């Protein structure tokens, strides 16, 4: 169920509702009916308005549906009122279950998280989402446990559950902090290697994991479902002229991505913020403009807006010539490709190398013979343009990322030394 508020175009609502259906399918549900309502604003009590809400509930009941899913995040009051209208009794597990978009996405994340960190991140998001939605059913959760008062032995069952959730949230955050320290150490080791990091970003199911597998032979799950992979994967990427980079896949984005997930996955999304370059993968056949807007919104939230980016319009094999021409005019700097058919992948690598080159600087270095380790690193981390041996050591002109120049700064020749060298 989706509501169209204000002057938003119907196409946007229908696309969002189609995506909700895909999310429901990923969660294991079969859609039996979809509905869109146009309203000036959401009803504070029932989201749709009491009359329309009753109509939707009656239709779902007539269709023998188990779950009614709304394409927005419902407030605690709206969820409670809709559950009461649908006759939901959590203790008896009876009635039509009410689920909003956020709850559905959290459920999918819980199914697909594999690593210890991913499971903790999802649990934190679920607990944060659940906390303000605690409420009693009838008088079962509002009776005093014992004595007089509202704390300790006299606290309500509802308050006891709230306190338990808060304790668990603190514990999960502590565990995530421990894991984040390990992630920072690994990131520091990668930075020390000097290899630039290219982060794959994009809408969920745009083809990021397929591209990662094509470029690096990474053993990642490739599936035509939303959020099929959650845990980040980093692999070495070989560029056309022998230069190496690290390609890191991240969690896919989605329209109305729950803020609880953004906060819980912030440590993982730091891979995007710390990357040298973003490879933004777009499903060219599925409203690419809206995908780009949604991804840009999340990038702004995590502090990664404005980073150097290569846009890859994927799945162009599904486009008509007319649609491809239109997109080419709208996004002239994008690379058009098909990860499934391996078309256009060479152009992506060329563009990545070009962008990384622009982020690098050309310097002349004079390295003593006893620092052969630095010469070896130059060949691994930079592009050596010229190299000669002098009485004082190795003299090399290289192009290297500015971020990796620090360890070589002491050996950069000053302008007057360059003139003498010539």
List, as one string, the DSSP characters of 59-90.
HHHHTT-SEEEESSPPPHHHHHHHHHHHT-BT
- 61/281 Cα distance (integer angstroms): 41
pLDDT at 69: 93
| CATH architecture of structural domain 195-357 | 3-Layer(aba) Sandwich (3.40)
How many Cβ atoms sit within 10 Å of the Cβ of residue 88? Answer: 19
What is the secondary structure of 356-381 as a DSSP string? Answer: HHHTEEEEEEEE-GGGHHHHHHHHHH
38 contact partners, CB below 8 Å, separation of at least 6: 3, 4, 5
Q: Which three-class secondary structure state does DSSP give residue 304? A: coil
pLDDT at 259: 76
| One fold for 195-357 and 360-421 | no
Going from N- to C-terminal start, the domains of the chain cover: 2-111, 113-176, 195-357, 360-421
Instruction: Please write the tens of the pLDDT for every residue from 185-233.
Output: 776 666 556 678 899 999 888 888 888 888 887 655 455 455 555 667 7
Q: Where are the beta strands (DSSP E) in 122-226?
A: 197-202
How many Cβ atoms sit within 10 Å of the Cβ of residue 149? Answer: 10
Instruction: Please write the tens of the pLDDT for every residue from 247-302.
Output: 888 777 887 777 777 777 776 677 788 888 999 999 998 889 988 988 998 888 88
pTM of the model: 0.71
pLDDT at 154: 47
Contact (CB, 8 A) for 339 and 282: no
For the chain, list residues with pLDDT below 50. Answer: 91-92, 136-151, 154, 221, 224, 415-416, 418-422
CATH number for the region 2-111 comes to: 3.40.50.11060
The dihedral region occupied by 242, where left means phi > 0, alpha psi between -120 and 50, and beta the remainder, is left
CATH number for the region 360-421 comes to: 3.30.70.240
């Amino acid at each position: 169920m989706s509501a169209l508020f204000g002057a938003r175009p119907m196409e946007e609502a229908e696309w969002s509702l189609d995506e909700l259906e895909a999310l429901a399918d990923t969660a294991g549900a079969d859609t039996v009916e979809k509905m869109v309502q146009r309203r000036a604003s959401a009803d504070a009590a029932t989201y749709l308005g009491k009359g329309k809400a009753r109509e939707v509930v009656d239709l779902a009941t007539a269709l023998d549906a188990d779950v009614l899913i709304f394409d927005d995040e419902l407030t605690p009051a709206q969820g409670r009122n809709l559950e009461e209208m649908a006759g939901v009794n959590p203790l008896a597990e009876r009635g039509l279950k009410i689920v909003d978009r956020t709850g559905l996405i959290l459920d999918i994340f819980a199914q697909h998280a594999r690593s210890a960190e991913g499971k903790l991140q999802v649990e934190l998001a679920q607990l944060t989402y659940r906390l303000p939605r605690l409420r009693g059913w009838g008088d079962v959760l509002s009776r005093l446990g014992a004595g007089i008062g509202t704390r300790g032995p006299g606290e309500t069952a509802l308050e006891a559950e709230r306190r338990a959730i808060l304790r668990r949230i603190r514990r999960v955050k502590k565990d995530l902090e421990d894991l984040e320290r390990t992630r920072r150490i690994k990131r520091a080791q990668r930075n020390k290697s000097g290899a630039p990091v290219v982060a794959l970003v994009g809408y969920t199911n745009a083809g990021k994991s397929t591209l990662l597998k094509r470029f690096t032979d990474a053993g990642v799950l490739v599936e035509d479902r939303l959020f099929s992979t959650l845990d980040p994967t980093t692999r070495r990427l070989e560029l056309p002229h022998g230069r190496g980079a690290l390609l890191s896949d991240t969690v896919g984005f989605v329209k109305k991505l729950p803020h609880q997930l953004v906060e819980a996955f912030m440590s993982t999304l730091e891979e995007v913020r710390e990357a040298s370059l973003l490879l933004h993968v777009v499903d060219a056949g599925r409203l690419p403009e809206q995908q780009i807007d949604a991804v840009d919104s999340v990038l702004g939230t995590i502090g990664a807006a404005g980073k150097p980016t290569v846009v890859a319009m994927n799945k162009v094999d599904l486009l008509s010539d007319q649609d491809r021409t239109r997109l080419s005019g709208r996004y002239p700097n994008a690379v058009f490709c098909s990860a499934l058919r391996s078309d256009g992948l060479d152009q992506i690598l060329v563009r990545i190398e070009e962008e990384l080159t622009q982020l690098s600087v050309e310097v002349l270095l004079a390295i003593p013979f006893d620092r052969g380790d630095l010469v070896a690193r130059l060949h691994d981390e930079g592009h050596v343009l010229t190299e000669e041996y002098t009485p004082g050591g190795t003299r090399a002109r290289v192009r290297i990322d500015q971020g990796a120049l620090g360890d070589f700064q002491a050996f950069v020749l000053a302008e007057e030394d360059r003139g003498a060298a010539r």
